[in-house]
Amino acid sequence: MEYQPTIGLEIHAELATASKMFCACRNNPDEKEPNRNVCPICLAHPGTLPTLNREAIRQVLRVGLAVGGTLADLTEWDRKNYFYPDIPKGYQISQYAHPLVTGGELNGVKLTRLHLEEDTATSKHDRSDEHSLVDFNRAGVPLLELVTEPVIKSAKAAGDFARELQLLLRYLGASGANMEKGELRVEANISIAPAVSSSALGTKVEVKNLNSFRAVERAIEYELARQRALLEKGEAVTQETRGWDEVKQETFSQRQKESSHDYRYFPDPDLPKLRLSQIPEFQNLESSLPELPWQKRERLAKLGFLQKQDIEQLVGDLTLADFFDRAEAELKEPELIKIAANIILNDIAGKRKKEADWLPELNYFVETIRRRLPLPQTRNSILSGAVAAVAAAESLPDLVDEVIAAHPAVVADFRAGKQAALQFLVGQGMKASRGAANPEILQKLLTEKLRSA
């Protein structure tokens, strides 16, 4: 018998705000020391009261606009009640009846809602000593939850959707969305039903905490095969929550799947309802949106010489794409832009695989291309003759000190009000760095140093 898969995703993304959702504790996903970024609010001490993080709300609204969703006018926060060691209050502050965003579409997948909630603490299990410890650094971090409609039909489509969401969050600056850090976590709701009954849905199984795109695709493929095997044997699929065993490459049963009424949602009495249309900082957010991934694809395709894989390479690497855009703006001529793209996508991208922060200095790169040397010679000149911009930036403070010390008379002229003296010092710094320094950063550092002395 043929079966029709039905897949819906619930994706959680930690937002890149300075502080947590309901308190002033630092939001730092790189913190190594347990329980460092905590306070009485995120530890749920009696008598403490939460306050709203407006930047987290703004970021979710921007994501909603990017996907074409409907922004709420009235929104509120709810208590989602359940007991677990990583939930210190015995409930999680989330949104239920009135989410920030409803509807929208991303990568061809219809969306149900986007809402805000607080993240949980992190449980750490020491199996050898049979101890479990809880780190509350993550407790209370603002968490965007995105829920899709159950319209995805394959594991690949699910993986592609999650990848596009990661790109969007990074373009908006809303989240680093690094899956290896737990900043992006995927849960998949999976069912199958006989294809002849197109309107009927099968029994839904949720697979939680998938922490890589490969795990998303493999877990869905495994679960579809497991459910198909059960149905073909005449057995029923149980509605439950399952985990993914990366070693065994299979799902495993965790617990019965809860329904929304099991959480006993009710509005949080300590947080205000918001009329978003009455809050000035949440208006006209469209103007804050950058070029989005699909817009960048369309623009790059219009150049006419980039292959699909080249476009995806640039869209997927924001640093490389920004370097290409700045080089394109400087070079202007299509012939030279095509040469630049060839070198960026092959030589520079290849070097960045070994040195992730490596980039040539833009002015050096552009001037080398303009010399119209044979392509191999141009490549060699750029890769060997230009110092990495990042490495140069790290040495700039010392370079600034050297330039100031070497030209006391010019320094005196600047302090006397002669602005031309500053450009002379910038020129000396560029000369000393052999063109590797970023002139804008160099000028900024020189100005700050001269005015602070």
**pLDDT digits over 258-275, tens only?**
667 788 999 999 999 999
Where does the pLDDT of residue 116 fall: very low under 50, low under 70, confident under 90, or very high at 90 and above? very high
Where does the pLDDT of residue 50 fall: very low under 50, low under 70, confident under 90, or very high at 90 and above? very high
Phi, psi of 388 (to 5 degrees): -55, 135
Q: What percent of the chain has pLDDT over 70?
A: 94
> Is 3 in a helix, a strand, or coil?
strand
Q: For residue 435, what pLDDT is reported?
A: 59
pTM: 0.82
Q: Are 300 and 291 in contact (CB under 8 A)?
A: no
Which amino acid is present at 196?
V
Q: Are 143 and 14 in contact (CB under 8 A)?
A: yes
Whether residue 390 is predicted with pLDDT greater than 50 in this model: the reply is no
CA distance 321 to 313: 8
Where does the pLDDT of residue 129 fall: very low under 50, low under 70, confident under 90, or very high at 90 and above? low
**pLDDT digits over 358-385, tens only?**
889 898 899 999 999 899 989 988 887 6
372: left (phi over 0), alpha (psi -120 to 50) or beta: left
Q: For residue 416, what pLDDT is reported?
A: 79
CA distance 93 to 86: 13
Here the tokens at position 316 are: 């997927």
Where does the pLDDT of residue 251 fall: very low under 50, low under 70, confident under 90, or very high at 90 and above? very high
Q: Are 77 and 58 in contact (CB under 8 A)?
A: no
Where does the pLDDT of residue 445 fall: very low under 50, low under 70, confident under 90, or very high at 90 and above? confident
Greater pLDDT, 2 or 1:
2
Where does the pLDDT of residue 394 fall: very low under 50, low under 70, confident under 90, or very high at 90 and above? low
Q: Which fold has domain 390-452?
A: Arc Repressor Mutant, subunit A (1.10.10)
Where does the pLDDT of residue 391 fall: very low under 50, low under 70, confident under 90, or very high at 90 and above? very low
Separation in Å, CA 345 to CA 28, 222, 337, 387: 33, 36, 12, 18
Whether residue 452 is predicted with pLDDT greater than 80 in this model: the reply is no
Greater pLDDT, 357 or 246:
246
Where does the pLDDT of residue 434 fall: very low under 50, low under 70, confident under 90, or very high at 90 and above? low
Q: Are 366 and 327 in contact (CB under 8 A)?
A: yes
**pLDDT digits over 317-331, tens only?**
999 999 999 999 999
Here the tokens at position 445 are: 């550092």
Q: For residue 126, what pLDDT is reported?
A: 73
When the pLDDT of each residue in the chain is averaged and rounded to a whole number, the result is 91
Q: Which residue spans of the chain are classified as CATH 1.10.10.410? A: 390-452
